[in-house]
Protein backbone atom coordinates (compact mmCIF):
# COMPACT_ATOMS: atom_id res chain seq x y z
CA UNK A 1 0.00 0.00 0.00
CA UNK A 2 1.39 3.38 -0.90
CA UNK A 3 0.30 6.94 -0.23
CA UNK A 4 2.00 9.60 -2.35
CA UNK A 5 1.01 13.23 -1.75
CA UNK A 6 -2.13 11.96 -0.08
CA UNK A 7 -3.85 13.27 3.05
CA UNK A 8 -6.52 12.14 5.52
CA UNK A 9 -6.60 8.46 4.50
CA UNK A 10 -7.33 5.50 6.78
CA UNK A 11 -5.85 2.05 6.22
CA UNK A 12 -7.63 -0.11 8.79
CA UNK A 13 -8.26 -3.80 9.54
CA UNK A 14 -6.36 -5.07 6.48
CA UNK A 15 -3.98 -7.91 5.79
CA UNK A 16 -1.02 -7.59 3.44
CA UNK A 17 1.87 -9.96 2.86
CA UNK A 18 4.50 -11.10 0.41
CA UNK A 19 5.21 -7.62 -0.90
CA UNK A 20 8.62 -6.68 -2.27
CA UNK A 21 10.22 -3.59 -0.72
CA UNK A 22 7.72 -2.00 1.72
CA UNK A 23 4.33 -3.14 2.97
CA UNK A 24 3.17 0.44 3.62
CA UNK A 25 4.82 3.54 2.18
CA UNK A 26 3.71 7.03 3.22
CA UNK A 27 5.68 9.71 1.38
CA UNK A 28 5.90 12.92 -0.66
CA UNK A 29 3.79 15.28 1.41
CA UNK A 30 1.36 12.65 2.73
CA UNK A 31 -0.06 13.83 6.03
CA UNK A 32 -2.81 13.19 8.57
CA UNK A 33 -3.10 9.53 7.53
CA UNK A 34 -3.93 6.65 9.89
CA UNK A 35 -2.67 3.05 9.58
CA UNK A 36 -4.45 1.02 12.28
CA UNK A 37 -5.19 -2.56 13.29
CA UNK A 38 -3.61 -4.24 10.25
CA UNK A 39 -1.50 -7.37 9.92
CA UNK A 40 1.53 -7.00 7.64
CA UNK A 41 4.25 -9.52 6.80
CA UNK A 42 7.28 -10.39 4.70
CA UNK A 43 8.40 -7.06 3.25
CA UNK A 44 12.03 -7.33 2.16
CA UNK A 45 13.28 -3.90 3.26
CA UNK A 46 10.81 -2.02 5.50
CA UNK A 47 7.44 -3.00 6.95
CA UNK A 48 5.99 0.50 7.36
CA UNK A 49 7.95 3.47 5.99
CA UNK A 50 7.13 7.14 6.53
CA UNK A 51 9.64 8.94 4.34
CA UNK A 52 10.50 12.02 2.37
CA UNK A 53 13.37 12.84 0.03
CA UNK A 54 16.32 14.70 1.50
CA UNK A 55 16.29 18.53 1.42
CA UNK A 56 17.04 20.03 -1.97
CA UNK A 57 15.18 17.30 -3.82
CA UNK A 58 12.64 18.60 -6.36
CA UNK A 59 9.96 16.20 -5.07
CA UNK A 60 10.26 17.57 -1.53
CA UNK A 61 10.10 21.11 -2.91
CA UNK A 62 6.98 20.29 -4.92
CA UNK A 63 4.96 18.30 -2.38
CA UNK A 64 6.39 19.30 1.00
CA UNK A 65 7.11 17.00 3.93
CA UNK A 66 5.03 14.13 5.24
CA UNK A 67 3.81 14.72 8.78
CA UNK A 68 1.19 13.99 11.45
CA UNK A 69 0.63 10.38 10.41
CA UNK A 70 -0.45 7.74 12.96
CA UNK A 71 0.66 4.09 12.87
CA UNK A 72 -1.26 2.34 15.63
CA UNK A 73 -2.22 -1.16 16.74
CA UNK A 74 -0.66 -3.03 13.80
CA UNK A 75 1.16 -6.35 13.74
CA UNK A 76 4.14 -6.17 11.40
CA UNK A 77 6.77 -8.78 10.62
CA UNK A 78 9.41 -7.77 8.11
CA UNK A 79 11.68 -10.51 6.77
CA UNK A 80 14.51 -8.27 5.60
CA UNK A 81 16.53 -8.40 2.39
CA UNK A 82 17.57 -11.70 0.84
CA UNK A 83 21.19 -12.61 0.27
CA UNK A 84 20.83 -11.78 -3.43
CA UNK A 85 19.44 -8.32 -2.60
CA UNK A 86 22.34 -7.66 -0.22
CA UNK A 87 24.89 -8.95 -2.71
CA UNK A 88 23.53 -6.75 -5.52
CA UNK A 89 23.44 -3.72 -3.15
CA UNK A 90 19.75 -2.93 -3.73
CA UNK A 91 18.72 -3.06 -0.05
CA UNK A 92 18.96 0.40 1.55
CA UNK A 93 20.91 0.94 4.76
CA UNK A 94 17.71 1.96 6.58
CA UNK A 95 15.99 -1.47 6.63
CA UNK A 96 13.68 -2.30 9.55
CA UNK A 97 10.16 -2.86 10.82
CA UNK A 98 8.66 0.63 11.22
CA UNK A 99 11.03 3.28 9.87
CA UNK A 100 10.64 7.05 10.00
CA UNK A 101 13.05 8.41 7.40
CA UNK A 102 14.68 11.78 6.76
CA UNK A 103 12.96 14.99 7.88
CA UNK A 104 9.36 13.78 8.31
CA UNK A 105 7.81 15.10 11.50
CA UNK A 106 5.09 14.77 14.16
CA UNK A 107 4.37 11.13 13.31
CA UNK A 108 3.09 8.76 15.99
CA UNK A 109 3.98 5.07 16.22
CA UNK A 110 2.10 3.46 19.10
CA UNK A 111 0.86 0.11 20.39
CA UNK A 112 2.21 -1.92 17.46
CA UNK A 113 3.76 -5.40 17.55
CA UNK A 114 6.84 -5.18 15.35
CA UNK A 115 9.39 -7.88 14.54
CA UNK A 116 12.05 -7.29 11.88
CA UNK A 117 14.52 -9.95 10.80
CA UNK A 118 16.96 -7.29 9.57
CA UNK A 119 17.69 -3.80 10.87
CA UNK A 120 15.67 -2.87 13.94
CA UNK A 121 11.99 -3.18 14.76
CA UNK A 122 11.58 0.57 15.35
CA UNK A 123 13.93 2.84 13.43
CA UNK A 124 14.65 6.52 12.87
CA UNK A 125 17.07 7.09 10.02
CA UNK A 126 18.27 9.29 7.21
CA UNK A 127 19.19 8.03 3.77
CA UNK A 128 22.81 8.67 2.81
CA UNK A 129 23.26 9.68 -0.84
CA UNK A 130 25.72 7.45 -2.70
CA UNK A 131 26.18 8.05 -6.42
CA UNK A 132 28.10 4.77 -6.80
CA UNK A 133 25.16 2.72 -5.46
CA UNK A 134 22.61 1.20 -7.87
CA UNK A 135 19.83 2.68 -5.68
CA UNK A 136 21.40 6.14 -5.24
CA UNK A 137 21.76 5.79 -1.45
CA UNK A 138 24.01 3.77 0.86
CA UNK A 139 23.13 0.10 0.71
CA UNK A 140 22.87 -2.48 3.51
CA UNK A 141 25.06 -3.77 5.07
CA UNK A 142 25.72 -2.02 7.29
CA UNK A 143 22.39 -0.88 8.68
CA UNK A 144 22.59 2.85 9.43
CA UNK A 145 20.08 4.33 11.90
CA UNK A 146 19.96 7.23 14.40
CA UNK A 147 21.82 9.46 11.91
CA UNK A 148 19.06 12.06 11.29
CA UNK A 149 20.35 15.60 10.77
CA UNK A 150 17.43 17.11 8.81
CA UNK A 151 14.07 18.37 10.01
CA UNK A 152 11.14 19.91 8.23
CA UNK A 153 9.33 20.64 11.52
CA UNK A 154 8.27 19.13 14.81
CA UNK A 155 10.76 20.99 16.94
CA UNK A 156 13.92 19.82 15.20
CA UNK A 157 16.28 16.87 15.38
CA UNK A 158 16.92 17.22 19.14
CA UNK A 159 13.17 16.66 19.61
CA UNK A 160 13.11 13.66 17.18
CA UNK A 161 11.37 16.06 14.73
CA UNK A 162 8.30 15.64 16.96
CA UNK A 163 8.04 11.94 16.05
CA UNK A 164 6.88 9.77 18.96
CA UNK A 165 7.09 6.04 19.64
CA UNK A 166 5.17 4.55 22.60
CA UNK A 167 3.65 1.31 23.84
CA UNK A 168 5.10 -0.81 21.02
CA UNK A 169 6.14 -4.43 21.44
CA UNK A 170 9.52 -4.80 19.80
CA UNK A 171 12.77 -6.71 20.42
CA UNK A 172 15.23 -4.32 18.79
CA UNK A 173 14.73 -0.57 19.01
CA UNK A 174 17.14 2.07 17.73
CA UNK A 175 19.15 3.53 20.60
CA UNK A 176 17.92 7.06 19.79
CA UNK A 177 14.24 6.06 20.25
CA UNK A 178 12.62 5.96 23.66
CA UNK A 179 12.56 2.38 24.86
CA UNK A 180 9.03 1.02 24.96
pLDDT digits (tens, 9 = 90+) for 1-22: 899 999 999 999 988 877 678 8
Query: Can you tell me the distance from the alpha carbon of 98 to that of 77, in angstroms, rounded to the nearest whole number?
Result: 10
Mean pLDDT of the chain: 93
How far, in Å, are 77, 127, 153, 156, 168 from residue 172 at the CA level?
13, 20, 27, 24, 11
DSSP 129-174: B-TTSTTSBPBSSSP--S-----SSTT-GGGGGG-EEES-EES-B-
Q: pLDDT tier at 180 (50, 70, 90 boundaries)?
A: confident
pLDDT in tens, 122-147: 999 999 999 999 999 999 989 999 99
User: What does the pLDDT read at residue 74?
Assistant: 97
Q: pLDDT tier at 170 (50, 70, 90 boundaries)?
A: very high
User: What does the pLDDT read at residue 56?
Assistant: 85
- 43 contacts 21 by C-beta, under 8 angstroms: yes
Please state the pTM of the whole predicted model: 0.93
User: What value does the mean pLDDT take over residues 58-71?
Assistant: 94
Beta strands (DSSP E) in the chain are 2-4, 10-12, 15-17, 22-27, 34-36, 39-43, 46-51, 70-72, 75-78, 96-101, 108-110, 113-116, 120-125, 164-166, 169-170
Amino acid sequence: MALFNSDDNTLINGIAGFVFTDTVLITDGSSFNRVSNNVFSTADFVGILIADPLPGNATLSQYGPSHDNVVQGNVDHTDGPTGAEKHSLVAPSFVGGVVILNGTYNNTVENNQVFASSGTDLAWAQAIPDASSPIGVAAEPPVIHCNVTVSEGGGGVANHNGNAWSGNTAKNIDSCITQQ
